Structure 1
Amino acid sequence: MLPILIGGLCVLSACNKQEVNANNSQGAVAKKADYEQGDLSLWPTLKSKVVKTPEIENTIAQYLKTMTLEQKVAQMIQPEIRDISVEDMRKYGFGSYLNGGGSFPNANKHATPADWIALAESMYQASVDDSIDGSKIPTMWGTDAVHGHNNVIGATLFPHNIGLGAANNPALIERIAAATAKEVMATGIDWVFAPTVAVVRDDRWGRTYEGYSEDSSIVRAYSAAIVNGLQGKADGDFLSDKRVISTVKHFLGDGGTVDGDDQGDNIDSEEVLYNIHAQGYIGGLTAGSQSVMASFNSWNGKKITAINTYLPMYSKPKWVLMALL
């Protein structure tokens, strides 16, 4: 967990139970004042079930004191396995790396679990080898196991999210997430880029099948269940050897773009942005999800990752999250 802590730890505080109108999907478009100032009264203060400890915080502080600028930059870089070698990891000490869809160890789509484990072990050992970069911080491997460990031949596959959402059964979804976590860990990978909590408003969006529901209350409940299934509950076997780090994604509003345009523009008001599109993050983050993936879409004409005025996650103390962004 150390890279995730060094990469971007913050903490959640005090919970505010705010009513959510899941059917309020047709709110007014954002006004310029909303866009520039934001309305923090819409965003509740959150409390994660996973809390930071003084021991971990002290360890992080000590690491940061001794890290060079180059080492800090390396912790923020996440290359793809097709683009790096074990020696690159040894040289630079990347904080994490990933395999995307259609990417496999040794470029072999029939790679066995043993092949996946061998690459994971080699990358890990290279990351803690300080002979070149001076860093012993262990790296992490992230993967898109979104409906089972779907990149690995022979893994258990489950229906796509749109089908799982139709079940409206959070308990079942938690069991599916737990089964996925076990299979991911069995291949040496410790980080999953799931759940997708996009609330789809236009079925023309090419990624509609990745969303669980157009009902934000279902998405919120599923998000918490999946986080618990992947990571383990905060008061249980949290991040044990049968669990993986979860990621709620894609922050924020990717399911509500105009005409369902992928990576397009969401012009909803801030109220709709919270009531509809933020609900999955509340469910997942209060359950203790350890990472959040930013989105490619825009809000009112500006890329969501470039906005630091209205989103409490980026700049305001009400949503200071225990998560790597």
Structure 2
Amino acid sequence: MKNKFLLSLGLLSLAFVHSCESSENTEAIAQEEQEFNYGQTIDSIIARMTIEQKVGQMTQINLDVISEGEIFALKEPHRLDSSKLDSAINHFYVGSVLNVGGHTYDRNHWKEIIIELQTKAISEGNRIPIIYGIDAIHGVNYTAGSTLFPQQIGQAATWNPELVKTAASITAYECRASGIPWNFSPVLDLARQPLWSRFFETYGEDVYLAKSMSRACIEGYQGDGQPGPEKVAACMKHFLGYSMPISGKDRTPAWIPNIQLREYFLPTFQEAIKKGALTVMINSGEVNGIPVHADQSILTDLLRDELGFKGIAVTDWEDIIKLYRDHRVAKDMREAVKLAINAGIDMSMTPNDYSFNKALIDLVRNGEIPESRLDESCRRILWVKQQLGLFEQPIPEFDSYQKFGSKEHRNAALNTALESITLLKNDSELLPMSKSANVLVCGPAANSLNVQNGAWTHTWQGVDEQYNTADAKTIYQAIEEESEGRVLFSPGCGLSERNGLEVALKQAKEADVVLVCLGEIPSTEKPGDIESLDLPKSQIELVTELSKLGKPIVVALVLNRPMIVREVEPLAGSILHCYLPGDEGGRALAKILFGEVNPSGKLPFTYPRYSGSLVPYDHKYTETLDKDFGRDAFNPQWEFGFGLSYSTFSYSNLSVAKKSYGIGDTLDVSVDVTNTSEIEGREVVEIFVTDRVASITPSVKRLRGFRKIFVEAGEKATVVIQIPIDELGFVNKDAVHVVEAGDFQLSVDNLTADFRVE
């Protein structure tokens, strides 16, 4: 019976589409087709639409707007409000809905929402299916029982694009299993401002690493061609320059010269567009004094004309409203809408009212925005819906997603966490420790799935314990499960409060090893703003007092961003960075601590030693000059790409195929990697290149290639990596990517090789 119901809905939608195909195209549509053919079906639909219906397609509302109760104070259990839904579909002709009503829902409730919503949309109003969007940031974090992976920064630490692709593919599958075809992910901003609250949502500080991960993620979300029923539309976030606020505070001004904008912040988006990313979300902040939502040079000249992007450009939350409320570049909503639409916005995440609709309709009626401009955006929106198969099947076959939350999917999350955890220190080979050892597990991150997952976990900020995954293990619980010795637990302190220290010190005396799990309160966006990268005094005190007992100390960092651990580092025998490892992070850390798995993560960012010295690895030569006129100014806690293993590796026989290359050539790099230990392990071969002299001051080095390999104990692997010479280029003073002739040096580990580009 259900299958017949779904089929009838699909046929109804198709009937509408085919009934439109004989309509005439407008002159504006014909002009657009000269650039890109969105298809006769889409043009026919647009030709039948009224101004109100076109504006409706460009409108995205929050689920709260059509739910019972007040916005941000919905009735429980959640239900759609039939009268509000009727208004959205039959009066405002809404094209998109987003979000969740405050907290995670189970799949049955998502099924109810999607069926009711899409049934209404395709049978009434303009009979066009809704495109539903959600923030599935590290898995489908708003569906109960989903698979939660490490956050993006942890995925980057794997240095394994295949794991990122798998994580994205599983997330897409489970998103579609919830009836949602549009995922507001990945974040393609570069993490070059460690204070920023969304640092953990990125793929790190380096362009090449982030490009590689971005490419893999888009492939995982969308597939190789038109997304099928197990894929979603990816959304590149946040175009452009969002992650580099001068103050470090979210949505505050960024001042980024055009050369730097193109050299560092644009390439990930370029890569994603090449892979066919269907949508993009715009930077909520301002760059060089202009709010990006009102910047035609970025949203049209760069995004559309130069990069050739054809999909949907959607605002972030209330960002058109913010043009007059916060940025003060418009006097009211009407003027703000005019600025944003003329700049190049397609869809407004208004999202809690219909002020956008009313303003845009009035602007078109009064001739201040041509109706052809609405056609452009509608064409893109309908095309994305078509690419997702929403016209043919607006309601998915919910029962066909049998792998949702499966053991197979959770094992993938576990493997990702295992390869992400980064061993930063291991004096006297303290790790791995014996399973029979008596262990005190303490610290504010030791027994908290919320800290372990971070924000975007069941709720926006991820701090509500009641929604946590029932069978997921905290670090303490996983160690207790894995250990054959006695496992003690005491928090020892809060995230920022001093409490429980005495109990922890007493229990430490009974332990062979003390594991201290340091953490940060889950947060993102504005609530995640901080004043300093300094680790809270309560956590420093915990490690300091424990160290006085003379017990071996292992520190596990579970952090949103690189908090300063300069005072803690000398007190610990071993330090591991877990990032925000997700629901499987506890199990992953336990397996590494006890030696069941060899750690292989590498830092995807430079870990600073001081909060006032935030210099990335690819700094300029002037940034190496110290106050004594030596070259030791760059002195981070740990460098980008650093990470230890229980194995030891040696590098030899680095070579390049020839000593001179042309601009269009490919550099062939060969190096031998030998596992000189008795433990099999994974190693990341990192290739850095130095441009000796350039017309724009060159960095001391840039990552230009890498590969993660597995080497058996005592064995040798020969690794060959190809690097297109074009990858060695940079953005010159004319804002053009060029490769200049000259001398270069390639480095792998402690080996170097020279070559020249003619």
Q: TM-score, normalised by structure 2?
A: 0.34
Partners of 2:59 and 2:136 in 1: CA distance:
21
Choose which of 240, 253, 256 in structure 2 pairs with 1:265: 253
Residue identity matched to 1:207? R
Count of residues in Structure 1 that have an aligned counterpart in Structure 2: 265
How big is the shift at 1:291? 0.2
Name the larger-Rg structure: 2
Give the CA RMSD over aligned residues.
2.2
Indicate the residue corresponding to 1:48 in structure 2. Answer: none
Q: Residue 307 in 1 paired to residue 289 in 2?
A: no
TM-score in terms of structure 1 length: 0.76
Ranges in structure 1 where 5+ consecutive residues have no aligned partner:
3-7, 14-51
Query: Partner of 1:295 in structure 2?
Result: 283
CA deviations on 1:173-216 (whole Å, 9 max, x unpaired) are 00000000111111111100001011021111111111111001
Deviation at residue 259 of structure 1 after TM alignment: 2.5
Match of residue 214, structure 2, among 197, 200, 223: 223
The 1:149/1:67 distance shift into structure 2, 3 A limit, reads same
Equivalent position amino acid for 1:141 in 2:
Y
Q: Provide the residue aligned with 1:163 in structure 2.
A: 154
- How many percent of aligned residue pairs carry the same amino acid? 28
- Structure 1 residue 110 displacement after superposition: 5.9
Match of 1:57 in 2: 39
Cα pair 1:89 1:126 within 8 Å, conserved:
no
Counterpart check, 1:275 vs 2:263: yes
> Within 2, Cα distance between the matches of 1:227 and 1:315?
18
Give distance in 2, aligned partners of 1:147 and 1:58: 37
Q: For 2:301 and 2:280, locate their aligned partners in 1 and report how far apart those are by CA, in whole Å.
A: 10
Amino acid at match of 1:176: A
From 67, 80, 88, the counterpart of 2:49: 67
Alignment of 1:123-272 (within 5 A): 123-130=117-124, 133=125, 135-234=126-225, 238-272=226-260
Cα contact 2:104–2:142 (8 A) shared by 1: no
Partner of 1:117: 111
CA deviation after TM superposition for structure 1 residue 89, in Å: 3.7
Mapped contact 1:128–1:137 kept (Cα < 8 A): yes
Judging changes above 3 Å, is the alpha-carbon distance between structure 1 residues 298 and 139 closer, same or farther for their aligned structure 2 residues? Answer: same
What is the CA deviation profile of residues 253-306 of structure 1, one whole-angstrom value per residue up to 9, with x for unaligned ones?
011110312111221111110111111111111100100001111111110121
User: Please, which moves more after superposition, 56-65 or 84-93?
Assistant: 84-93
The whole-number CA distance in structure 2 between the counterparts of 1:302 and 1:215 is 26
Q: In structure 2, how many angstroms separate the alpha carbons of the residues matched to 1:310 and 1:242?
A: 32
Task: Output the amino acid matched with 1:87.
Answer: D
Q: CA deviation at 1:88?
A: 3.3
Q: Which residue number in structure 2 is paired with residue 88 of structure 1? A: 87
Match of 2:60 among 78, 85, 89: 78
Matched residues in 2 for 1:316 and 1:145: separation? 26
Counterparts of 2:104 and 2:160, CA distance in 1: 33
Structure with the higher fraction of residues in helix conformation: 1
Q: Which has the higher strand share?
A: 2
User: Secondary structure in 2 aligned to 1:88?
Assistant: helix
1:316 CA displacement: 5.9
Alpha-carbon shift at residue 310 of structure 1 (Å): 5.3
Structure 1's 62 and 314: CA in aligned 2 closer, same or farther, altered over 3 A? farther
Higher relative contact order (CA 8 A, sep 6+): 1
Secondary structure of residue in 2 paired with 1:71: helix
1:51-81 Cα deviation digits (max 9, x unpaired): x6x5x52112111211111001100111011
8 A contact 1:288–1:322 mirrored in 2: no
